[in-house]
Structure 1
């Protein structure tokens, strides 16, 4: 009997300890999140609470790259340096798989919680990236709403398409075109266009000869707006031979920076091209006829 009485207090304490562990959450939401990559910047700014995100990369403020460049003005910027991370001492670091490998490896070795995101190459991958970021920063409900809205809008756009798809090419400086497997290709197809580069077996981002563009005479050529530091390569998409194509629409038809990253903001590029398609190839009986 005496031995049993001695064990009871210990057993009670163990039960209380187990109960307390069950009540405590497995992992609390990070209070200090730091982003070192342009694309994770935009995902984090979309989902995080204002005081939860402590720093974004300096590229987040660049209008030609970031759809959220105005929102990025609210946050301190970093250049992806380990020293900057040490000073901020974040609970969570989010970055890209192609960003500053040495810094990422060092931070992991030093015990920082680092999560890497790959560059989303298609519209279909974006909802998953949104949900993953939401889960990491404790914003699951907000992420689910954004991801669902994004998917539903794409489905509605696809359901409203009709007729033969007009041809289009995303043509950049030095005569570079976006072919199969690129975010631009995914956006072009979602908006109801046929990507000329993809149809001519271009995979990824690759040179597309000016002569082929002239011969194919696409319905639309999308070019980027001028950069702050002009180069001779920028004149290739604006060559006089292209400008002379009689029935080709040439211009910057998608918002600046909208094709840089696979984030929910890319829906703005799809919407812009959907409106363009409705203008040049309206469905029978539509109001635009």
Structure 2
């Protein structure tokens, strides 16, 4: 009898423990979130509740880099310093793997919850980044819809393409060309262009010989879209020999900041280039059916 009572007691204890675990509340969404990186800024501003995000990086307000620069005016800004985070005491810090490493390591040692996002280089990884940020912020439903919409639009643009692929080369603000393995290369391909720099062997970002550009005669040269301050990305294609190419279109065809980061806003770059591609080299009517 005594042994039976012990077994019943143990069973009751296990039942109580199981009930407690099942009824335990799911971890609440963070109430105070700081973003220390331009790219996490874009995701966080898109998905977070306004009162949930307490600070974004100062770069979020730069119109040349951030598609959400106007929205960023509503948030306090930071410069990615550990001291700023320590004073604010956020529940969650989101940043990039290429941000200040000393800051990230120090914050982790101090016990702050820090989530790092890698620099996205291809369009197909963006939906996953959207969902991850949504899960961190407790905004899963919003993130799922955004990720699905993004994927559906990319699929629709891909179905509108054909084998006619005009050539393009793009320069960023520092005057370097954007080769294979970059987000810009992924955007160009999705929009139906062949990236001249990538086709000629450029990997990542690097200076690209003007002689090769002149010899290749690309259909389009994309300059950096800056507002106000001139950049090398605008200056390079103004070389007289390039400007004299008779059939090459030169201009800032991509909205400023649209392909700075792997955020939902990069779809604006795909739309803009897909529209340009349809204008300069339309597919036969039956090619996309």
Q: TM-score, normalised by structure 2?
A: 0.92
Distance (whole Å) between structure 2 residues aligned to residue 285 and residue 42 of structure 1 = 37
**Equivalent in the alignment of 1:55:** 55
Shift of 1:7: 9.4
> Contact 1:97–1:116 (CA<8 Å) still a contact in 2?
yes
The alignment status of 1:130 with 2:108, answered yes or no, reads no
- 1:172–1:237 CA contact under 8 A, matched in 2: no
Change (3 A) 1:218 1:6: closer
Unpaired segments ≥5 residues, structure 1: none
Aligned residue in 2 for 1:84: 84
Partners of 1:136 and 1:21 lie apart in 2 by 22
Q: Who is 2:253 aligned against?
A: 253
- Pairwise CA distance, 1:229: 4.0
Matching of residues 74-153 of structure 1 within 5 Å: 74-153=74-153
1:249 deviates by: 0.5
Hey, what's the Cα distance between the residues in 1 that align with 2:270 and 2:154? 9
Q: Say how many residue pairs are matched.
A: 286
Is 1:273 aligned with 2:280? no
Cα distance change of structure 1 residues 252 and 230 upon mapping to structure 2, 3 Å threshold: closer
TM-score between the two structures when normalised by the length of structure 1: 0.92
Structure 2: where are the runs of 5+ without partners?
none
Give 1:150-161 correspondences, 5 Å limit. Answer: 150-161=150-161
Q: Which residue of 2 aligns with 1:190?
A: 190
Show the 5 A alignment for 1:207-246: 207-226=207-226, 228-230=228-230, 234-246=234-246
Assess, with a 3 A threshold, how the Cα gap between structure 1 residues 211 and 256 changes in structure 2: closer, same or farther. same
Instruction: Measure, in 1, the Cα distance between the counterparts of 2:115 and 2:237.
Output: 38
Shift of 1:17: 4.7
Aligned to 2:155, the other structure's residue is in SS state helix
1:13-47 alpha-carbon deviations (Å, 9 max, x no partner)? 66435422321135221111110000000001111
Q: Is the 8 A contact 2:64 2:256 kept in 1?
A: yes
Distance 1:134 1:269 in 2: 23
Alignment deviations for residues 85-117 of structure 1 (CA, whole Å, 9 cap, x no partner): 122111110000010111100100011100000
Contact 2:224–2:231 (8 Å) recurs in 1: no
Q: Decide whether aligned partners of structure 1 residues 275 and 231 sit closer, same or farther in structure 2, where only a CA change above 3 A counts.
A: closer
Q: SS of the residue aligned with 2:63?
A: coil
1:65 aligned counterpart, secondary structure: coil
1:37 paired residue number? 37
SS of aligned partner of 2:55:
strand
- Match in the other structure for 1:168: 168
How big is the shift at 1:285?
Answer: 3.8
Aligned-CA RMSD value: 2.2
Q: 1:237: how far off?
A: 2.0
